[in-house]
A and B are shown apart, each in its own frame.
Chain A
């Protein structure tokens, strides 16, 4: 009888990559369902198409690099990147937009740096930013909530549907950013992009992502530090610069928390274990940095939503944050870091 020779500890690790990725996919389910309920079958088709592209890119690169195909394809990381990217794209993004974004995310964002675990930037956000910079028109306009059947959705994504003028609108964040004359209430009355407390439709999507994020938090896939840091910083910034409801209003904290990609970013992007900071304090700082940058870009920047840019900028800062927030090892004094001025 051959006994397996295993050293202690004898508990089984339950958090293998595949299982973590599957749980993340499961947690996006409320968001996916809400998007489908609000916007029709477009998000589902986007999801499917992005997954196909991501897996093909991954397989092609793995084959070219002579890496085990099955092992890396089945860990689900490509699928998670594709799903997160597809959820961030507008519901009826043309097929080539999704293709470029996903291809860039996989090839340039992930595999040029060495594959899973080596990427300094979040691959999904790289893909998103590439298409946002390249095709700003197609990326910043969302349709109003309206159910669209699968056939019609396919036609829209392939670009062969006959669409009425103005079927897509600027998002609430966009409208608010370009407003200079109307009070907040007048703005809400004049534009269909606003909902009850956030963006029209977006508020429910954000709530769904919040629910999915809470599930992941309960399963202990990540700690509360990064998401809370981001949401608290964003809330605090919007409270400080709110400006009431006059024409110079920058939107209430509630509006900012439930508009754009806030919740998707807070629970699915900022919590990325590879490209984020490592220690608990580091994650708190990382999340807070993202929150502050999101608010700055939304309010004074050139783009209506800034989650992707904020995450990429903080990804750049993550090694520095890690350097300064390394926890003290038991039995050792805390190492001094940086320069001391005046000695």
Chain B
């Protein structure tokens, strides 16, 4: 049985859905053009993932193996519909901006993947914690991508936050440079691929650094013993 600590590091870093498993790329690339869009979809995904993992874990003993996938998908679709209705009621403008990507949470591979790979084999507590952590890992990448793209593309950060947090959040917008000098490419689809690629490269680089640091204290053989048979000059 995996410990909670392990589940957390797995979801947030080691097996991050956005950076390592590369699951759910469609919403990740499609909605990450600003922080508010990214955060909106990220929160919705966390909610669906946590609830679906809990529900799948609860029914895992009573569902026959042969029909488990349709049952899981039905569950996920039902939960997604709930989230969609909630967003429709409370954050109507964001609901309109995100559009098709909210119902598409159903088809996000991370959710079915976690239901199948983790929730169907673990208890409720572990399963819902895994859902929370995987969802948070996904949402963090989504928000990082959204922030970078918004910053590069329009020169602002946290624009239009009132769509998610009410009128008081309209003042959160930071303007770092004038809007007409933004690198428009960053907001367009190619920018999503480029920035995500750079983020993945950064993660791999950090991992390589960490691995190199932990592998440092190894026993090194003395130089003179490098070769057994010596027939000439050792260069």
Contact = CB atoms under 8 A, between A and B. Distances in A.
Contacts of A133: 184-185, 188, 190
Given A133-B190, A135-B184, 12 more contacts: A100-B183, A108-B194, A130-B185, A133-B184, A133-B185, A133-B188, A134-B182, A134-B183, A134-B184, A134-B185, A134-B186, A136-B184
Nearest to B201: A112
A132 to B, nearest CB: 9
Contacts of A108: 194
Q: Which 10 A-B pairs rank lowest in CB-CB distance, beginning with the nearest? A: A134-B184, A134-B185, A134-B183, A133-B185, A130-B185, A133-B184, A133-B188, A135-B184, A108-B194, A100-B183
A108 B183 CA distance: 15
A135 B182 CA distance: 8
Contacts of A135: 184
A334 to B, nearest CB: 38
A136 B183 CA distance: 11
Interface string B171-214: 00000000000111110101000100000000000000000000
Contacts of B183: 100, 134
Interface in A85-117: 100, 108
B: interface residue count bin: under 10
A100 B185 CA distance: 12
A134 B155 CA distance: 13
A135 B184 CA distance: 7
Contacts of A130: 185
Contacts of B188: 133
Contacts of A134: 182-186
Contacts of B182: 134
A318 to B, nearest CB: 20
A135 B186 CA distance: 12
A134 B185 CA distance: 5
11 contacts: A100-B183, A108-B194, A130-B185, A133-B184, A133-B185, A133-B188, A133-B190, A134-B182, A134-B183, A134-B184, A136-B184
A130 B194 CA distance: 12
Contacts of B190: 133
Nearest to A100: B183
Nearest to A108: B194
Nearest to A104: B185
Interface string A118-162: 000000000000100111100000000000000000000000000
Nearest to A135: B184
A100 B186 CA distance: 13
A76 to B, nearest CB: 28
Nearest to A137: B180
Most chain B CB atoms below 10 A, which of A133, A134, A136: A134
A325 B204 CA distance: 39
A95 B184 CA distance: 18
Nearest to A96: B181
Contacts of B184: 133-136
A108 B197 CA distance: 11
A310 to B, nearest CB: 17
Interface in B136-186: 182-186
A133 B190 CA distance: 10
A134 B180 CA distance: 10
Contacts of B185: 130, 133-134
A136 B185 CA distance: 11
A133 B194 CA distance: 14
A307 B185 CA distance: 19
A159 to B, nearest CB: 11
A64 to B, nearest CB: 12
B25 to A, nearest CB: 19
A321 B185 CA distance: 29
A136 B182 CA distance: 12
Contacts of A136: 184
A262 to B, nearest CB: 25
A134 B194 CA distance: 14
A49 B140 CA distance: 39
A238 B59 CA distance: 66
A211 to B, nearest CB: 35
Nearest to A131: B185
A97 to B, nearest CB: 11
Interface string B102-118: 00000000000000000
